[in-house]
Copies of this chain bind each other. A is one copy, B any other.
Amino acid sequence: MEVTGSSGGAAAVGPCARIPAEHMEFIRQVLDRVGDKWSLLLIAVVEAGPLRYTDLQRQVPGISQRMLTLTLRQLREDGLITRTAYAEVPPRVEYSLTPLGRGLHEIVTSLIGWAADHHDEIREHRARAAAPAARS
């Protein structure tokens, strides 16, 4: 796997970072699915045990019914969450993470933790980039 050989002209890349082209395919697939506006957030929230539709809607501020339904369906089709419907008088539906989903949830937790740790730093950078004025 060590492609640091000097035979090629454009070597000198790092040791492990060259992403194999074969991997690109499913990286893209996962990123396409998970890289929308709500999936990761929903993964993060639904971890709190079986949650009902309206619970999710309340916990995720700003999401519309449409997007909630759509995203939940996709996550379910990918095997990341389960949907359990109870045939009761007021219908009740509960969503939970599958084991597969829990694996992803750990990563989402990392991401959220990282965001929590560094969002100040990012906001500073962003503000600094937006204001090219500050120069004595």
Q: Which residues of A contact B (CB under 8 A)?
A: 10, 12-14, 17-19, 21, 23-24, 26-32, 34-37, 40-41, 44-45, 47-49, 51, 55, 59-62, 76-80, 100, 103-104, 107, 110-112, 114-116, 118-119, 121-122, 124-126, 129-130
Given A10-B55, A100-B121; A19-B37 close (CB under 8 Å): no
The majority secondary structure among interface residues of chain A is helix
A36 nearest CB neighbor, chain B only: B35
Given A115-B26, A119-B29; A40-B48 close (CB under 8 Å): no
A-B interface, 6 closest residue pairs, ranked by CB to CB distance from nearest: A79-B125, A17-B48, A77-B129, A26-B119, A30-B115, A14-B48
